[in-house]
Amino acid sequence: MHEGSTEDILNTMRELEATLRESKARLHETEARLHETEARLHEARERLEYVLELLPEGYWDWNVETDEVYYGDRWISSLGYTRDEIAPHLSTWMTLLHPDDIARVSEALDAYIDGRSRTYACEIRLKQKDGTYRWHLDRGRIVSRDANGKATRIIGMEVDISARKEAEQVIQEQSRRLMDLSTPLIPINEEVVVMPLVGVVDEARAGQVLSTLLEGLTRTRARVAILDVTGMGEVDARVASVLVDAAKAVQLLGAEVVLTGVRPDVARTLVALDVDLDHILLRGTLQAGIACAVEISGEERGRRGR
C-alpha cells in the first residue's frame, strides 16, 4: 500500500471521527433542549390544570379521536359525583345530558368541528346525582388539529346558569300574567263577554288579544264579544288591522263582534283600511255596546226557543 493512500485513509477516518463527535454533541444538545422543553411543557400543563381547577366553572378536555374525556374536579363535584363515579369518556357526558337536548347539542358540536360554525356554545341540562337537572352554559374551543386540519382535541368549560334560567322563567311568568291582565275577558252574562283594551297594542299583545278572545269564546260559548277601545292610545293601521282580524276570527266561531269606544281618529283609520266592516257592529260607548250585545243575545235565545 502506498504511503499517500494510507495518509488519505487516516485523514478520512479523522474527519469521520470529528463528524461523529460533532453529531454526538449536537444530539446531546438536542436531547437536553428536548428534556427542557418537556419539563417546561409539563410545568405549563400543571399550571393550566391548577388555574382551571381554581375557576368557578367546571372544565373538560376531550380527545376527539378516542372520545376520551378528562373531567375536572369542579365539573364532577358540581354535579354531586365523585371521580370514581365518572368514567373518562364522552359517553358519560351524553348519558348525563337531558334527552331533549341531545340532538340540539350534537348539531352544535358537529357544526363547530366541521367548520360550519366559528364557535361552540350551548345551553344544556345535565343530570345531578340526585336525579334532578340543572342548566349549564357549555362552551368549547379546538386546541389541536391533525395534519389534515381535523380537530383532535377540544377543551371546554361549563357554567351553572340554573339561577339565571329560574329568574328568566319567573320573568316570563310575570310577563304572561301582566299580558293576561292587559287583555282581560270579562263575562257580562252567559252569552256576552267584553274585552277592554287599554294602552298600546304591540305585536306581542296583538297575538295575546286574539288568543285570549278565541280561547275565551270557545270556553264560555258566548254569542257576542265586545271589544272596547276607549282606553287605547293611538290606533294606527296596524292596530286597526288587528281589531278587524280579531272580529273576523270571532265570526268564524259563530259569534258576533261589537266594537265600542270608537273615536273619530279610530273611525278614519278603519275606513282608510278599505276593508268590509259590515260584520262589525260599532257603538260609541261601552254602555251602548253592552245594551246592543244583550239585545243580540236575547234575539239569539228567542230564535233557539222557537
Q: How far apart (Å, rounded) are the C-alpha atoms in residues 240 and 201?
A: 10
Could you please state the CATH topology (level 3) that the domain comprising 175-305 is classified under.
Transcription Regulator spoIIAA (3.30.750)
For 49-160, give the CATH class. Answer: alpha beta
| pLDDT at residue number 121 | 94
Which tens digit of pLDDT belongs to each residue from 134-186? 999 999 999 999 999 999 999 998 989 998 888 888 777 766 665 555 567 88
Which comes out higher in pLDDT, residue 93 or 48? 93
Judge residue 80's burial from the number of C-beta atoms within 10 Å of its C-beta, 0-12 exposed, 13-18 middle, 19 or more buried: middle
Quote the percentage of the chain above a pLDDT of 90: 30
| pLDDT at residue number 127 | 96
Decide if pLDDT at 294 tops 70. yes
Which tens digit of pLDDT belongs to each residue from 231-255? 877 777 777 788 888 888 888 888 8
Rounded to an integer, the average pLDDT of 271-290 is: 80
Rounded to an integer, the average pLDDT of 32-37 is: 77
| 234 backbone dihedrals φ, ψ, rounded to 5° | -65, 130
Q: How far apart (Å, rounded) are the C-alpha atoms in residues 141 and 261?
A: 60
Residue whose entry in the numeric block shows the C-alpha cell 367546571: 58
| pLDDT at residue number 53 | 57
Q: Taking the domains of the chain in order of start, what are their residue ranges?
A: 49-160, 175-305
Assigned C-alpha cell, 13: 477516518
Q: Which region among 3-17, 53-67, 274-288 has the lowest average model confidence (pLDDT)?
A: 3-17
Categorize the per-residue pLDDT at 303 as very low, low, confident or very high, splitting at 50, 70 and 90: low
Q: Do domains 49-160 and 175-305 have the same CATH topology?
A: no
Q: How far apart (Å, rounded) are the C-alpha atoms in residues 13 and 27?
A: 20
Give the mean pLDDT of the chain: 82
Quote the percentage of the chain above a pLDDT of 70: 84
| pLDDT at residue number 92 | 96
Which tens digit of pLDDT belongs to each residue from 182-236? 567 888 888 888 888 877 777 777 778 888 888 888 888 888 888 888 887 777 7
CA distances to 206, 209, 261, 272 from 265, rounded to whole Å, are 20, 21, 11, 11
Categorize the per-residue pLDDT at 4 as very low, low, confident or very high, splitting at 50, 70 and 90: low
Q: How far apart (Å, rounded) are the C-alpha atoms in residues 87 and 98?
A: 18
Assigned C-alpha cell, 161: 346558569
Which is nearest to 196 in space by CA: 209, 210, 184? 184
* 239 contacts 232 by C-beta, under 8 angstroms: yes
